[in-house]
Chains A and B, each alone.
Chain A
Amino acid sequence: MSNLSGHILNKTAVKGEEGIWVFSAHIPSFPVKEHLQENGGAGNLLRYISKRLLYMLMSLFLIVTATFFLMRAAPGGPFSSEKQVPPEIEKNLNEYYGLDRPWYIQYVDYLVSVAKWDFGPSFKYKGQTVNDLINEGFPVSFFLGMESLFIAISVGILLGIIAALNHNKWQDYGAMVFAVLGISVPSFIMASVLQYFLAIKLGWFPVARWESLQHTVLPALALAATPTAFIARLTRSSMLEVLSNDYIRTAKAKGLSRRQITVKHAIRNAILPVVTYLGPLSAQILTGSFVIEKIFGIPGLGSHFVTSITNRDYTTIMGVTVFYSILLLLSVLLVDIAYGFIDPRIKLAGGKKGE
């Protein structure tokens, strides 16, 4: 991963667009721009969105289907244990959960329940439904995710801009050393380091758990580290590219102050790759990180995503996967729409006036 993104650090101007593609390689994302240009025909924003929603439904259907069959193909079942359940009890269980019916009936049942947004009872937590798990887990992951996103975006962009404006000076190197650390140090190590210094040695924050605002600081920092670094590097490289453009030279020639050039002309264009990155990033961050949630004992959604698979908790696997997919698809859509606002040259729809 760091090899690929090392590209961007390269001083030879890397095109912002290439930057996007480098990232697209490891972050599930739509080929956004292509998509937009295909849509260059007549129409309006509404039409564009409805078309995209239709695609989303189709993707969702494919995801549900693939998950369903992959899940059933995996050996073992939700009641596998070293202490085998007597066959009679297992029969009752299978009947109750509908696992004794033929696969096509189960599959249709499943599609219907997804459409109704009722994922059924969890296998692993008796008395709780998958909807309960999502409703209780998601707000926690969402809060933590927003906090880290806020840190990542503000610190990342700031660092990137400082680095670009002070190209090849100590500020640049300092920010990029920080960024390399952020990317290469895995989050579980970052989490342990933060716990050790800020909680145990300095006693500023509690070691773990999810009780007060104070409890949220360390996990948010740990979760934000990698995206902050990514954003910093993205911003820096695209800023550098933008700053070498002719119109910036024009602006300089006009006698605009450096501040005005940066704020009004450079950042706005340089921010585009960051926005692209934000789509998948926010879906990923908002649904919770398994590692961070585990280390800090946070009751979020991320842990269900992983543990439900080892538990063969079929209903939870499906519910969480569908939920995550919807979030991912939606955030990509939102990013595409946001393009139009940030860069008027990109027209979502509406004639050939665009670039």
Chain B
Amino acid sequence: MKKRSFMLLSFMLALSLFLSACGGFQKNNESAGEKGNKAADVPQELHVNIKTEPFSLNPGLANDSVSANVLYQTFEGLTRIKDGKPQLAMAESYEVSKDLKTYTFKLRDAKWSNGDPVTAQDFEYAWKWALDPKNQSQYAYQLYYVKNGQAFNEGKAKAEDVGVKAIDEKTLQVTLENPTPYFLELTAFYTYFPVNSKIAQKNPKWYANAGPDYTSNGPFKMTSWEHNNKIVLEKNENYWDAKNVKLTKIDMVMVNDNNTELSMFNNGELDWAGMPTGQLPTDSLPQLKKEGKLHIQPIASVYMFKFNTEKAPLNNVNIRKALAYAIDRKAIVENVTKGEQIPAMAVVPPTMFPENKKGYFKDNDVKKAKEYLQKGLQELGLKDVKDLPPITLSYNTDDAHAKIAQAVQDMWKKNLGIEVKLENAEWAVYIEKLHSGDYQIGRMGWSGDFNDPINFLELFRDKEGGNNDTNWENPKYKQLLIDSQKETDPEKRKELLKQAEAILMDEMPIAPVYFYTNTWVQKDNLKGVEVSGLGDVQFKWAYFE
């Protein structure tokens, strides 16, 4: 008996230990956005969900949307995107040389969150740090536009050769590899953000945690970072435009479950649920739409099927066209994805080319598709659809992709009589197969890093390298893209890019399916949140009414 009471006692002891350990939890009874409060005393505190731990909150290392949506609140580049256009931010003014290759930025009097001045050296340091091969930045290539950026990153040039130079404290000179018409878009991108060089040189791990060494130059500063749990941002009083920042605090929680996110919103624990930081459950979309709560905004991303143009029968352009024309995109968008996505009959999203809402061909054009099929069969010397070599459609394992693939399989069977096998693999396996050309038809989502059509067209410029995957190449297409880099007149440049896109849509190495949209719900009294066409969010101007 003694033994048992001993065990009981030790168990109780252990339990009381745990219970007392939890005294360490801070009490948190404030519920988000208390109701009934009138204008003046509405707490300016925002609660959002960012789903997962960010990869890194060092702008030079970040390569994911979670990190981006934190960094856009805490840091600021030379420019900042508002209403889809770059505005001057850290830069007060800039000059461009005639050949569009040299930019000279004058910085404004801005401070880091600890009071240090933001200097041109901070930019030079940050860019070179990201390009330095020993820092293993996976997004270093975003800086390849800068002269010798790529060479330095590949160990073929020295840091001094890189085309970014602090002339003095407040003057930054940037030399580019080629004329880059969208360079001011790029300077708003996070890889181009500055880093407090004074601190970073002393403490190379400054970005691992919140604390006195984590300084930032944006509207908010990070005051707490509980890994895998929560990030707290507070207003940065040292920000140059602090008078226009109304939120005092942003709680960013990490809950990686769409249903829970919506429940938390319904329960007042979040002020925002859904994209771009989180996601709503697909099944809830029709209901939310009916209740008029759903916000929908198109973004610069396209869902497509890539054709491996070296595998029969997809090496035949008419077969590819037949398949692409025989997809009923409207049905997919209305019945499967349900988020008012835009059927894509082009590759550059309408946020960049508004006329692409219509596209280059008709959606679900079965008649044309059958014609192309006949032509293709003739070219291949086949009599009947049944003689076609077997085709497999691959996708990475996911409910939504599976449903789309099944719908398309059905459409091809019904419209063309082509039987397609489906095959899925887990993401890392799938992407490996796609990159190595071990597939016939494969799904892919592609989004722009910055607001320029080149993001989508460049993908198919070179057969080798990059992320083409289709093995398709066209010299005329390539030349048009090269010419577009040198064209200084925006209208003419757009013309060149449109010609290139027309070639792409005529040769069909891919079948675009739809352009993505962002869907979310938000508190009615929350205003001024800036969701860009790229799907980033900025809370700089946000406030509660």
Is A70 among interface residues, defined by CB-CB distance under 8 A?
A: no
Contacts of A209 on B, CB cut-off 8 Å? 229-230, 253, 255, 264, 269
Is B335 among interface residues, defined by CB-CB distance under 8 A?
A: no
Is A74 among interface residues, defined by CB-CB distance under 8 A?
A: yes
**Cβ-defined contact, B229 with A299, below 8 A:** yes
**Cβ-defined contact, B228 with A299, below 8 A:** yes
Per the bound structure, the CA–CA distance linking A147 and B140 in Å amounts to 46
Given contacts A125-B53, A132-B227, A147-B18, contact A76 B136 (CB under 8 A): no
Contacts of A137 on B, CB cut-off 8 Å? 228
**Cβ-defined contact, A211 with B28, below 8 A:** yes
Per the bound structure, the CA–CA distance linking A93 and B226 in Å amounts to 27
Contacts of B58 on A, CB cut-off 8 Å? 126-127
Q: Please report which residues of chain A, range 90-134, place their CB below 8 angstroms from some CB of chain B when the two chains form the complex.
A: 92-93, 96, 124-128, 132-133
- B154 partner, pick from A74, A88, A132, A311, beta carbons under 8 A: A88
Is B266 among interface residues, defined by CB-CB distance under 8 A?
A: yes
- A207 partner, pick from B15, B209, B264, B427, beta carbons under 8 A: B264
How many whole Å from A82's CB to the nearest CB in chain B? 6
How many whole Å from A189's CB to the nearest CB in chain B? 11
**Cβ-defined contact, A82 with B445, below 8 A:** yes
Stretch from A172-180, A191-199, A245-253, A321-329 forming part of the interface with B: A191-199
Closest to A153 in B: B11
**Cβ-defined contact, A297 with B21, below 8 A:** no
Is A48 among interface residues, defined by CB-CB distance under 8 A?
A: no
Per the bound structure, the CA–CA distance linking A76 and B4 in Å amounts to 53
B129-163 CB mask vs A (1 if < 8 Å, else 0) is: 00001101110110000000000011100000000
Is A84 among interface residues, defined by CB-CB distance under 8 A?
A: yes
How many whole Å from B299's CB to the nearest CB in chain A? 16
Contacts of A136 on B, CB cut-off 8 Å? 227-228
Given contacts A89-B136, A137-B228, contact A76 B22 (CB under 8 A): no
- B259 partner, pick from A83, A84, A192, beta carbons under 8 A: A192
B258-269 CB mask vs A (1 if < 8 Å, else 0) is: 011001101101
Closest to A78 in B: B428
Per the bound structure, the CA–CA distance linking A212 and B5 in Å amounts to 32
Per the bound structure, the CA–CA distance linking A124 and B53 in Å amounts to 9
Interface centre among B155, B228, B269 (most CB of A within 10 A): B228
Is B254 among interface residues, defined by CB-CB distance under 8 A?
A: yes
Indicate the size class of the contact surface on chain A. Answer: 35 or more
Closest to A84 in B: B467
A208-224 CB mask vs B (1 if < 8 Å, else 0) is: 11111101100000000
**Cβ-defined contact, B136 with A212, below 8 A:** no
Given contacts A74-B428, A76-B429, A80-B428, contact A146 B228 (CB under 8 A): no
Contacts of B56 on A, CB cut-off 8 Å? 125-127
**Cβ-defined contact, B22 with A89, below 8 A:** no
Given contacts A85-B138, A89-B138, A310-B426, contact A195 B467 (CB under 8 A): no
How many whole Å from A186's CB to the nearest CB in chain B? 14
Per the bound structure, the CA–CA distance linking A182 and B264 in Å amounts to 25
**Cβ-defined contact, B467 with A208, below 8 A:** no
Per the bound structure, the CA–CA distance linking A89 and B61 in Å amounts to 12
Contacts of A341 on B, CB cut-off 8 Å? 3-4, 7
Contacts of A207 on B, CB cut-off 8 Å? 260, 263-264, 267, 269
**Cβ-defined contact, B267 with A125, below 8 A:** no
**Cβ-defined contact, B257 with A297, below 8 A:** yes
Contacts of B134 on A, CB cut-off 8 Å? 92, 96
Contacts of A132 on B, CB cut-off 8 Å? 227
Is B182 among interface residues, defined by CB-CB distance under 8 A?
A: no
Is A255 among interface residues, defined by CB-CB distance under 8 A?
A: no
Per the bound structure, the CA–CA distance linking A89 and B465 in Å amounts to 13
Is B527 among interface residues, defined by CB-CB distance under 8 A?
A: no
Q: Offer 7 A-B interface pairs, CB within 8 angstroms, sorted by A.
A: A87-B465, A92-B133, A125-B53, A127-B208, A136-B227, A211-B26, A341-B3
Given A76-B429, A212-B26, 4 further pairs, Cβ under 8 A? A82-B446, A128-B208, A208-B255, A208-B264
- B residues near A, CB below 8 A? 3-4, 7, 14-15, 18, 21-22, 25-28, 53, 55-56, 58, 61, 133-134, 136-138, 140-141, 153-155, 205, 207-209, 226-230, 253-257, 259-260, 263-264, 266-267, 269, 426-429, 431-433, 435, 444-446, 465-467
The 7 tightest CB contacts between A and B, nearest first, are: A76-B428, A297-B255, A126-B56, A127-B208, A299-B229, A299-B228, A88-B154
